[in-house]
Structure 1
Amino acid sequence: MRNRSLAIPYVVWMAVFVIAPLLLIVVYAFTAKDGGVTLSNFSNMGQYFPAFRHSFVLAVTATVICILIGYPLAYFLSKEGVLVRKVAMMLIMLPMWMNFLLRTYAWMSLLDDNGLINQFLSGIGFFRLINTLFGTDLTCFHMINTQGAIVLGMVYNFLPFMIMPIFSVIDKIDPKVIEAAQDLGANSAMVFRKVIFPLSLPGVLSGVTMVFIPSVSTFALSRLLGGGKTLLLGDLIEMQFLGNAYNPHLGSAIALVMMVIVLVCMAVMNRFGEGEEGVAVL
Structure 2
Amino acid sequence: MSLTSRLAALRGLFSGRSLLIGTPYLWLLLFFLLPFLIVLRISFAEMDGARVSDLFTYANNELFMKLKLQNFATIFQDDLYWSTYAQSLMYAGATTLVCLFIGYPFAYFMARSPSSVQPLLLMGVMLPFWTSFLLRVYAWKGLLDADTGWVGLFLKALHLDQLLLAVGLIPAEGQFMYSPFSLLLGMVYTYLPFMILPLFGTLSKLDLRLLEAAQDLGATPWQAFWRVTVPLSRGGIVAGAMLVFIPCVGEYVIPELLGGPETLMIGRVLWDEFFANNDWPMASSVAVVMVLLIIVPLAIFNRNQSKGAGQ
TM-score by length of 2: 0.76
The one-letter code of the counterpart of 2:121 is: A
Distance 1:72 1:10, change over 3 A: closer
Asked if the contact 2:100/2:195 (under 8 Å) is kept, the reply is: yes
Of 171, 189, 200, 2:222 maps to 189
- Residue 58 of structure 1 deviates from its aligned partner by 0.7
Give the gaps of 5 or more residues in structure 1: 131-138
Asked if the contact 1:31/1:37 (under 8 Å) is kept, the reply is: yes
Separation in 2, partners of 1:182, 1:268: 36
Secondary structure at the aligned position of 2:233 is classed as: helix
- If asked which structure has higher relative contact order (CA below 8 Å, sep 6+), I would say 1
Of 100, 107, 111, 1:78 maps to 111
Asked if the contact 1:199/1:277 (under 8 Å) is kept, the reply is: no
- Residue 14 of structure 1 deviates from its aligned partner by 5.0
Of 123, 129, 133, 1:90 maps to 123
- Residue 176 of structure 1 deviates from its aligned partner by 2.2
Asked if the contact 2:40/2:284 (under 8 Å) is kept, the reply is: yes
Q: Does 1:40 align with 2:73?
A: no
Separation in 2, partners of 1:177, 1:248: 55
**Alignment match, 1:23:** 37
Worse overlay, 175-184 or 22-31: 175-184
**Alignment match, 2:102:** 69
Separation in 1, partners of 2:24, 2:96: 33
Q: Does 1:256 align with 2:288?
A: yes
- Residue 53 of structure 1 deviates from its aligned partner by 1.6
Q: Does 1:247 align with 2:261?
A: no
Separation in 1, partners of 2:23, 2:205: 35
Of 46, 49, 56, 2:82 maps to 49
The one-letter code of the counterpart of 1:246 is: N
- Residue 121 of structure 1 deviates from its aligned partner by 4.5
- Residue 13 of structure 1 deviates from its aligned partner by 5.6
- Residue 54 of structure 1 deviates from its aligned partner by 1.4
Q: Does 1:104 align with 2:142?
A: no
Separation in 2, partners of 1:69, 1:230: 23
- Residue 93 of structure 1 deviates from its aligned partner by 1.1
Separation in 2, partners of 1:6, 1:188: 47
The one-letter code of the counterpart of 1:231 is: L
Distance 1:180 1:118, change over 3 A: closer
Asked if the contact 2:144/2:152 (under 8 Å) is kept, the reply is: no
Separation in 1, partners of 2:30, 2:301: 30
Identity %: 33
Secondary structure at the aligned position of 2:263 is classed as: coil
Of 298, 301, 305, 1:266 maps to 298
Separation in 2, partners of 1:156, 1:229: 21
Of 194, 198, 201, 1:168 maps to 201
Distance 1:241 1:78, change over 3 A: same
Give the gaps of 5 or more residues in structure 2: 1-10, 48-52, 55-65, 162-171
Secondary structure at the aligned position of 1:173 is classed as: coil
Secondary structure at the aligned position of 1:83 is classed as: coil
Distance 1:276 1:61, change over 3 A: farther
More helix by share: 1
Distance 1:269 1:163, change over 3 A: farther
Deviations 1:221-274 (A, max 9, x none): 11100145522111111222222x111111111111111111123234435655
Aligned residues: 267
